[in-house]
Amino acid sequence: MRGPTSAYLEGRRSDQTVAGSVMWSSTEMIFGNSRMYLRVAPESDAASDSACNGRCRPVATYARGMVPPEQTQAKPRMTVGVALPQMATGLDRNRLMEWCREVDSGPFSSISAGERVTFHNLDGFTLCSAAAALTERVRILVNVAVLPWHAPALVAKELASMDVVSGGRVEVAVGVGGRQQDYAALGSPFAGRHKRLDEAVFELKRLWAGGVAADGEKVGPAPLQAGGPPIMASAMGPKSLARAAQWAVGVSGFTLLGDSREAARLFRATETAWSTASRTDKPRLVTGSFVALGANAAENLRDFAATYLHVFSPDLAKSLSEAMTLNEPSRLVDLLDQVEAEGADEFIVVPATSDPAMIEQLAEVVASR
């Protein structure tokens, strides 16, 4: 874990002007687990925010999680969330607690986990519930919940309970999954999964709005967020996006090879689907990719991807894993910049290792932007 004095970001200055004159500078400083904003008087002439030559006069400071007044009107930047390393090996109780606490104290927007049955991973709903209790600030994203596997009333109860435990920080991306093996293991029919997904979403919303279940009773608890946790769609094709435009707040996609063009195609297709459905709101646009940083990053990323994708085809898994390149900070920075330019609201880093040391390295990358 980071020590309390290990600074991993120097200041980032933002000049505020009135009638063309610099009135103050807002400098974001991150030290270890703490973030503060320093409002500096103009005479500081802070050519170097990290040093200021002893001439900086802090006028106001803001604790992490608070936004300086001068930044509230700026165009929101793309945020970066972190998936728990549930698909990597070695995630145990102690590492789970460390990942949750370090992500919550870092420059990240969300923590997430998803579903897969016939694999070694810990259950996604269980992990997100644990994260809801172990964190205070970041959003809790269930990504992806495969609704055709589940009874909607039970999912409504689980997500509402998670929302209560988290203090109203839960959101969910839903989809149909892509592995027939998981459906077979659960005794759930693969056919008709898209129709069941749509029906389940509407049932979730109905129950969260106070509707009654089959026995005539309400399914509690009520979620803290009005209408329930926001629902995104894990959809890619035009038919899936057209359906999602009827009920989702946006899409949560994934680029396997870290290709911003792939993310751009999904974003543009989503916007088209929203327009066709006569939606006037902007869809939330989220994407992500497998990432490894630190010692043996290239090997860790390759081995992780080959294992995770083996279910589809050993040859395909080998080919794709060898083509993955998000194993250096500079490459991740480039991708973050590219997908933000394409309109992404959030990028989800899916770690290829459960080593908590990656969190600090990832924080350096995110904060350096």
pLDDT tens column, 277-299: 999 999 999 999 999 999 999 99
Shared domain check, 53 and 85: no
Q: What is the pLDDT of residues 96-147, one digit of tens each?
A: 999 999 999 999 999 999 999 999 999 999 999 999 999 999 999 999 999 9
Q: If 0-12 CB within 10 Å is exposed, 13-18 middle and 19+ buried, where does residue 21 land?
A: exposed
Q: Which of 28, 46, 71 is the last residue of a domain?
A: 71
Can you give the CATH number for the domain in which 327 is found?
3.20.20.30
Residue 34 has pLDDT above 80, yes or no: no
Q: Are 8 and 32 within 8 A, CB to CB?
A: yes
Task: Give the Cα separation of 217 and 126 in Å (integer).
Answer: 26
Tell me, yes or no, whether 120 lies in a domain: yes
Higher pLDDT, 197 or 369: 197
Shared domain check, 169 and 67: no
Q: Which of 71, 97, 112 is the last residue of a domain?
A: 71
Higher pLDDT, 69 or 149: 149
Residue 25 has pLDDT above 60, yes or no: no
Q: Per the structure, how many domains does the chain have? A: 2
Residue 29 has pLDDT above 60, yes or no: no
- When the pLDDT of each residue in the chain is averaged and rounded to a whole number, the result is 84
Task: Give the Cα separation of 271 and 24 in Å (integer).
Answer: 39
How confident is the model at residue 40, as a pLDDT?
35
Shared domain check, 65 and 190: no
Shared domain check, 323 and 358: yes
Tell me, yes or no, whether 2 lies in a domain: no
The phi, psi pair for 353, rounded to 5°, reads -145, 150
Mean pLDDT computed over 255-276: 97
Tell me, yes or no, whether 1 lies in a domain: no
- 312 — pLDDT class (breaks 50, 70, 90): confident
Tell me, yes or no, whether 31 lies in a domain: yes
Q: Which of 43, 71, 99 is the last residue of a domain?
A: 71
Shared domain check, 135 and 88: yes
Shared domain check, 133 and 16: no
Shared domain check, 141 and 17: no
Shared domain check, 27 and 144: no
Shared domain check, 160 and 30: no
Shared domain check, 151 and 278: yes
How confident is the model at residue 178, as a pLDDT?
86
Shared domain check, 334 and 286: yes
Residue 157: give the domain boundaries: 79-368
How confident is the model at residue 74, as a pLDDT?
57
Shared domain check, 176 and 313: yes
Enter the DSSP assignment of 217.
Answer: -
Share of the chain above pLDDT 90, in %: 76
Q: How far is CA 174 from CA 110, 139, 201, 253, in A?
A: 16, 16, 8, 11
Q: What is the pLDDT of residues 46-98, one digit of tens each?
A: 333 443 334 333 333 334 344 444 444 455 789 999 999 999 999 999 999 99
